[in-house]
Each structure stands twice: as C-alpha cells, then as structure tokens.
Structure 1
C-alpha cells in the first residue's frame, strides 16, 4: 500500500466555511474537508483522512459503493443509515459510533436530522494485505 501523508502535529481545524467543498456526486448540504493524504481512484492508490459533514435535514437517495476501504467515526450529531429515496426510514445512530467497510460494500443511503460530522479514512489495500 502506498501512503502519501505528511507529518502533521496538532493544529486548529476551521469548522466554519473555509476549506469545505461538496464531494463529487453528493448533494448540496454535504461537505468534505480533506485533513491529510490523497486518494487516486484511477490508479487505485492512496490514503486520505477527511471530515464529512451533513447539514440538518440532508439525505442521500441511493446506496454508495466504492473500490477502496472506508472507516467512519461519527464524531457528533446523528446519522441514519438505509433511508429510502424520500429520506424516510432507516436505522439511526448517535455520536461515537463506528463502521469499517471493505471495498465493494454497499452502504447507505444516509440522512441526518440535526446534522453531523464524520471522520473518515479511505484507503486502497491489495487482497494479499487483508486479514479477515
């Protein structure tokens, strides 16, 4: 696995508006801030750490699937997993919950009633590096 991350000591994270962007394919109201690293989905390499935040009432309508591993920690707020295309239903989770998904795992759709902040790790791992 190639890891391209720089040495970072504690520094303040601007939780306001600076440095946040809507990720490709996401609706307005969901924003990411890359904290460290990169992920090259064409070359299938990299390791990134990001914050992802949902504004209150925002939801996605389709499940997600990608070809990299993902670890998600719900830092604050609420997140519902498995809602329908109208944002109804699903299973609600509160802060300090965690998920680890291998590549190819379908997950979502997602919604947040009051808004949330997630910390996510995304990385590529070759099959011979995976221990079940």
Structure 2
C-alpha cells in the first residue's frame, strides 16, 4: 500500500464530499488514500433520513473495517439496527446494506487490499 505519510492533524480540516452514488445526504472525509488501489481511511456520514437503497447491496474487492462513532443505521437487507460503539470487519465480497439512518450516523472506516495485492 502507498498511502501518504501524515503526522497528526485535525480531521475537521478535511471537508466532507458526496460519496459515489451522488446522494448529498451520504458524505465522506477521505483521511488517507492509496491512489493506485483506491483503498482508503475515511469518516463516513449519513445525515438524518439518508438511504442508500438506490445503490443496492454493496460488495467490495477489499477488506473493510467499520467502527460506528455516533448515531445508528439499519441494514435493510438484514433488518438490523447498528449503533455507536459497534464494529464490523468485512472480507472482500461480503454483502452488506443497503442502509438507512433516521437519526444520522458517523463511522470511521479503514479499507485495505486483499491477498497478494497487500504485499505490493
């Protein structure tokens, strides 16, 4: 992985931008990103009322770890609500979502390549 080197900085200096899918209620702060693989560390924010149903069930070709910092959201496929303080570790290909958040949610996420890609 070739993420840039950073010493401590205030994440509030990084602007939220609309995530892929173009829903203005679903935004992210990219804290660090490998431009070659696209894997990243980010803060994801669902504003109250955000719903990712149009994006469908998600599957990635990378590992994804998610920690819910604030609020909650519902995995609409599972019909299960997840709240602040909960954590997920998803291997490549694991289906998840779509999501809806009535109150809003803020997560911290780390994504990294699978298998041999990680050795590059």
TM-score by length of 2: 0.83
Counterpart-to-counterpart distance in 1, 2:48 and 2:83: 14
Counterpart of 1:14 in 2: which secondary structure?
helix
The reply on whether 1:118 has 2:107 as its aligned counterpart is yes
State the match for 2:73 in structure 1. 79
Unaligned runs of 5+ in 2: none
State the match for 1:7 in structure 2. 5
Query: Which whole-Å deviations, capped at 9, do the CAs of 1:10-39 have from their partners, x for residues lacking one?
Result: 221227xx6211121252200011101225
Identify the range of structure 1 (110-119 vs 23-32) with the bigger mean alpha-carbon deviation.
23-32
Q: Give the structure with the larger strand fraction.
A: 2
Q: Give the structure with the larger helix fraction.
A: 2
How many positions carry a matched residue from both structures?
A: 116
Report the aligned-residue RMSD. 2.3
Larger radius of gyration: 1
Task: Give the 4+ runs in structure 1 shifted more than 6 A.
Answer: none
Contact 1:4 1:46 in 2 (8 A): no
